[in-house]
Amino acid sequence: MSTKIKLGLFGFGCVGQGLYNVLNQTEGIKAEIVKICIKNPNKKRSLSADYFTLEKDEILFNEDINVVVEMIDDAEAAFQIVKTALQNGKAVVSANKKMIADHFDELYQLQKQYNAPLLYEASACASIPIIRNLEEYYDNDLLGAVEGIFNGSTNYILTKIFKDNIDFDTALKQAQEIGFAETDPTLDVEAYDPKYKLCIILAHTFGLFVKPEEVFNYGIQNLSTFDIQYANEKGYKIKLIAFCRKVDNKIVAGVLPRFIKPDNKLYNIENEYNGILVESAFTESQFFAGKGAGSNPTGSAVLSDISALTYSYKYEYKKHNRGAKVELTDDFSIDLYVRYSTANPIDTKLFTNIKESYANHESAYIVGSINFAALRQSDLIKRKDINLIVAADTKFEKLQNSIQSLEEETVAL
């Protein structure tokens, strides 16, 4: 690609403004914004009206523009933009995690067919360069797991709950007021946002392409004062954790809240920050932290991709192209805290063993091992009077390991 980058932007909201800010404060990147396609012509903008257009073809079919930067909210409209740009041989940079997760395989094929790169570092964990590290630094390492806090909005809410001792609704309102959470917070608090990011991370960690509906997500929407009191009594915090891990040559993955102990590096990741733990055979455990939300952090990740295009960088999908023989499985056991209403008991047969339990006149909980496949098929995930939190010391194991251990304990007794 020419070292002179001529940009066509789709969207000029939080991320677009952030990109403009960091682009104008950075020396060394020869990039020029030629045109910006917007939806609302009446919105007040910080740039001259000459920059803006309502016609997407003014960017997609403009021969002077060699890089399209997609930063809009509509995932399906974004996909059509990205698809057309790649078909026209233009490089694309995107921050749209839902669009990428929903269409990952097709986007991969389009890049190969039209020899046009698509970069999306900003789609997962904003300022943390995790995708490129997984692609380049860990390209020949034997990765065992990637997990962490992938959503700055929920982490901000949980920080306010535990540090400021405020309730969930108040913390959510504060997050909305400062722009960390949307008016409709469903994507964040019900853990869809980190699930989309996890789907992208899975491809670059294990070479595994999955659809979002294959990955389980359970958020913090049912968090109660009872759960918070339990965590405080144990000295834990609660964090929303996305994880993917190799277990017996299969991959387990999902997003759930988890109790975090003080000795865990994620314990002190607060507010809108994200934190990622990478486990591998050669480098053992490494930790990344940085801002996971906000205009400038996300804009800087977009700018990093634009900079990479000046030296013709593209993802090589090395692990996938080596023919990674791994598959996603739900046949594993985790230790889970299940809080429920005493008046509406749960089926304890779901637990392969029970490690802790308690009940008062209003609420009860059980901590024990549950098969993940059974959990996904149970009514526990649908009930509003129930909350699920992964235990602090959980180990991800095949179910038969848990059953075998239980049988050994029974024989010993």
Catalytic residues: 197
Q: In which element (H, E) is residue 304 found?
A: helix 295-309
Return the bridge partners of 33, or none. 7
Per-residue burial over 229-241, b if 16 or more Cβ lie within 10 Å, else e, is ebbeeeebbbbbb
d(CA 334, CA 337): 10
Rounded CA-CA distance 39/23 in Å is 23
Q: Which two tokens stand for residue 387?
A: 């909350």
Burial (CB < 10 A; 0-12, 13-18, 19+), residue 79, is: buried
Q: Helices marked H in 67-185 — which ranges?
A: 75-87, 97-102, 104-114, 130-132, 152-163, 168-177
3 state SS of 231: helix
DSSP code at position 53 = E
- DSSP strand pairing (91-94 vs 67-70): parallel
CA–CA separation, 323 and 306 (whole Å)? 29
Give the residue among 246, 222, 247, 216 at the shortest CA–CA distance from 374.
216
Q: What angle do CA 401, 402, 407 make, to 5 degrees?
A: 95
Tell the residue number behind the tokens 């073809």, with chain if given: 57
Which of 104, 110, 25 minimizes the C-alpha distance to 68? 110
